[in-house]
Amino acid sequence: MSEKDLKDKDLSDSVDEEKRDFLFITTAGLAVAGGAVTALSLIDTMNPAKDVLALSTTEVDLAPIEEGQSLTVMWRGKPIFIRHRTSEEIRTANNTSINELKHMASDESRVKNPKWLVVVGVCTHLGCVPLGQKVGDNKGEFGGWFCPCHGSHYDTSGRIRKGPAPLNLEVPPYDFVSDEIIKIG
Amino acid sequence: MKEKETENKKGISNWIDERLPVFTFINHNLRDYPTPKNLNYFWNFGSLAGVTLVIMIVTGILLAMQYTANTEMAFDSVERIMRDVNNGWLLRYIHMNGASMFFIIVYIHMFRGLYYGSYKYPREILWMLGVVILLLMMATAFMGYVLPWGQMSFWGATVITNLFSAFPVIGDYIVTFLWGGFSVDNPTLTRFFVLHYLLPFAIVGVVALHLVALHQFGSNNPTGIDVKSEGDTIPFHPYYTVKDYLGLGVYLIVFAFLVFFAPNFLGHPDNYIPANPLQTPAHIVPEWYFLPFYAILRAVPDKLLGVLLMFAAVMVLFFLPWLDKHKIRSANFRPFYKQFYWLFFINCIVLGWVGAMPAEGVYVLISRVATLYYFGFFLIIMPFLSKFEKTTDLPSSISAAVISEKFDNNEPSSAESYVK
């Protein structure tokens, strides 16, 4: 190869612009795709791991809970309120007119067996645990639960009645495995 | 008038650049940055080391979110990462093999510097900062290896910390201080985890200084001749960005092969046995990247002297610019240095090999000879050659060297004309 050939090679009119664009776009495209896949798999490590997901159901034996008593169990790291409601409590819950409610839901739609109310014990305002599970607790103006953080009152169906919380206490997915055992999750 | 000019520059990037010159900085250091036009692929290893550092920090941060630094839970938390965490195996294998890749890259980077005399005037501080990075890397890698709390972790930590007990009088106090107790135990693990997390950021800081020092005089090059005119250089972008990308692609293929097909090839199976303070494994070896230094340690029959020599093996690198005062940088033009250099290279491999062998019989002899040559190369051969070695003819400039390679014609005048 002579010096002159090299010189000629440098002339811009011998550059195949289309080929360069093609190479540039395919290379950059592949690099971006590879980077994205790598980044996504790395970010995925922060999602719940298999051992965490394996703990996502909890079975509870309801037999020891007398009428009027409550039980708090853990499910996915959160408290679950289980209340064995008295007939009085069930009646008040049922007699409440739906139109009075901030978050409209009938008591029927929130229970599988009216004797048992199962709700997630996390205030829908900012995540505090409401009072009302223990005998001496302040149960709020509606006989359900009262959240001490910002003063939300829940009724005997776990529905929001007064205060800043926007929604009723969440009903977790659960099933009656037998008459007296429920499986949450 | 000045204000008017400012107003005339349109666009958000100009607006920002006016106030915070990031784009000017990037342009200056990664785009127009004049780079010798004859760099070969050995000049890829700096950027590869930088990429590896980033990979290690990213995977390390994600691992730290899953790891538990407690002697009761550390081993199980690592196994949980392997089994339960989404892609946890991938994360850990990248990090584990990334450490090995980092040392491969950095060792090649250093041998490059040694061959082409990159440590010589005016790049002495650049080189010394590199040695600081190496020391930080060694400390970080050692402490990282302790974290899974397997047998090798525990006994590696015990042996390495016990090195300090070799010092008279204060030795035992130092060791107790390092442990935070009377043996390698929970306090040791906790502090090692904290330091293992902290030191990489110190490395980032020193790397930044390393780059500032590099860009002060620019890269060395295979001829070792200074850049004399603009014709000797080409802009960093696109020429070296493209070259670095190609190197990166090849590097990632090797890295990925290790991660996906031989993730435990460079590790030691004993580290999958939970740490047991009551039983030492029959044959304990450090990770491969410490083996040459480990061989030097074992070559010496005296405890203190062995430890001192091992530390000296790294420390001697700091004095390289003053041990080798020969005017010519590149070994290409130093016929004798070149041969001693390759002998030194092989010698390092031999040291690594005997470091992995049991300390008995012929291995002891080999390790002693290799240790002698290791120090002899730096302390005797280098100063001697600085004084007496005659060199072959140097090309008049980088361009001249490039042209003479291309046309086998040594006329510098024609070279210059081609450049212009």
Q: Could you tell me which residues are beta bridge partners of residue A143?
A: A155
CB contact under 8 A, A6 and B83: no
- Whether A126 is in a domain gets the answer yes
- CATH number, domain of B136, equals 1.20.810.10
CB contact under 8 A, A42 and B58: yes
Phi (first) and psi of residue A88, to 5 degrees = -60, -45
The encoded tokens of residue B28 equal 């200056």
Domains: count for chain B: 1
Identify which of A30, A31, A46 has the alpha carbon closest to the alpha carbon of residue B59. A46
CA B84 to chain A, closest CA, distance in angstroms equals 5
- Whether A4 is in a domain gets the answer no
SS3 A152: strand
CA B85 to chain A, closest CA, distance in angstroms equals 4
User: What is the C-alpha to C-alpha distance for residues A180 and B328, in angstroms, rounded to an integer?
Assistant: 90
In our burial notation (b when 16+ CB lie closer than 10 A, e otherwise), range B203-225 reads beebbeebeebbeeebbbbbbbb
Show Cβ contacts of residue B357 under 8 Å, excluding neighbours closer than 6 positions.
B363
Q: List the single residue in A7, A46, A51 with the smallest CB-CB distance to B418.
A: A7
CA A46 to chain B, closest CA, distance in angstroms equals 8
- Whether B203 is in a domain gets the answer yes
Please indicate, yes or no, whether residues A36 and A81 belong to a single structural domain of this protein: no
- Whether B10 is in a domain gets the answer no
Task: Show residues of chain B in contact with A27, CB under 8 Å.
Answer: 245
Please indicate, yes or no, whether residues A23 and A92 belong to a single structural domain of this protein: no
- Owning domain of residue A33: 15-47
Contact yes or no for A158/A116 (Cβ under 8 A): no
Report pLDDT digits (tens) over A26-67: 999 999 999 999 999 999 999 999 988 887 788 899 999 988
Please indicate, yes or no, whether residues A66 and A133 belong to a single structural domain of this protein: yes
Q: Given a cut of 80, is residue A4 above it in pLDDT?
A: no
Give the Cβ contact number of residue A13 at 10 Å.
5
- Whether A158 is in a domain gets the answer yes
Instruction: Read off the amino acid at residue B189.
Output: L
Contact yes or no for B333/B222 (Cβ under 8 A): no
- CATH number, domain of A75, equals 2.102.10.10
A24: nearest CA in chain B? Answer: B242
Please indicate, yes or no, whether residues A66 and A151 belong to a single structural domain of this protein: yes
- Whether B5 is in a domain gets the answer no
- Whether B388 is in a domain gets the answer yes
- Whether A9 is in a domain gets the answer no
What is the per-residue pLDDT for B418?
42
- Whether A111 is in a domain gets the answer yes
Q: Is the dihedral of CA B81, B84, B88, B93 positive or negative?
A: positive
What is the per-residue pLDDT for A9?
54
Please indicate, yes or no, whether residues A148 and A83 belong to a single structural domain of this protein: yes
Domains: count for chain A: 2
- Whether B114 is in a domain gets the answer yes
Report pLDDT digits (tens) over B75-122: 999 999 999 999 999 999 999 999 999 999 999 999 999 999 999 999
Complex ipTM value: 0.79
User: What are the mean pLDDT values of chain B's consecutive 10-residue runs (420 residues total)?
Assistant: 54 90 90 93 96 97 96 96 96 97 98 96 96 97 96 94 92 94 95 97 98 94 92 92 94 96 93 94 90 94 93 96 94 94 97 92 94 97 93 86 67 42
CB contact under 8 A, A49 and B84: yes
Please indicate, yes or no, whether residues A59 and A81 belong to a single structural domain of this protein: yes
- Owning domain of residue B253: 36-404
- Whether B333 is in a domain gets the answer yes
- Whether B265 is in a domain gets the answer yes
Q: B186 — contact with chain A (CB < 8 Å)?
A: no
What is the per-residue pLDDT for B80?
96
Q: Given a cut of 70, is residue A10 above it in pLDDT?
A: no
What is the per-residue pLDDT for B7?
54
What is the per-residue pLDDT for A13?
61
Q: What is the DSSP letter of B230?
A: G
Please indicate, yes or no, whether residues A178 and A105 belong to a single structural domain of this protein: yes
Show Cβ contacts of residue B155 under 8 Å, excluding neighbours closer than 6 positions.
B280, B281, B284
Report pLDDT digits (tens) over B282-322: 888 899 999 999 999 999 999 999 999 999 999 999 999 99
Please indicate, yes or no, whether residues A77 and A158 belong to a single structural domain of this protein: yes
User: What is the C-alpha to C-alpha distance for residues A124 and A152, in angstroms, rounded to an integer?
Assistant: 9
Please indicate, yes or no, whether residues A42 and A57 belong to a single structural domain of this protein: no
B210 belongs to the catalytic site: no
B244 belongs to the catalytic site: yes
Strand segments (E) across B156-293 = 233-235
Give A68's pLDDT tier (boundaries 50, 70, 90). Answer: confident
- Whether A160 is in a domain gets the answer yes
Please indicate, yes or no, whether residues A151 and A67 belong to a single structural domain of this protein: yes
Please indicate, yes or no, whether residues A102 and A118 belong to a single structural domain of this protein: yes
The encoded tokens of residue B350 equal 């031999």
Please indicate, yes or no, whether residues A134 and A62 belong to a single structural domain of this protein: yes
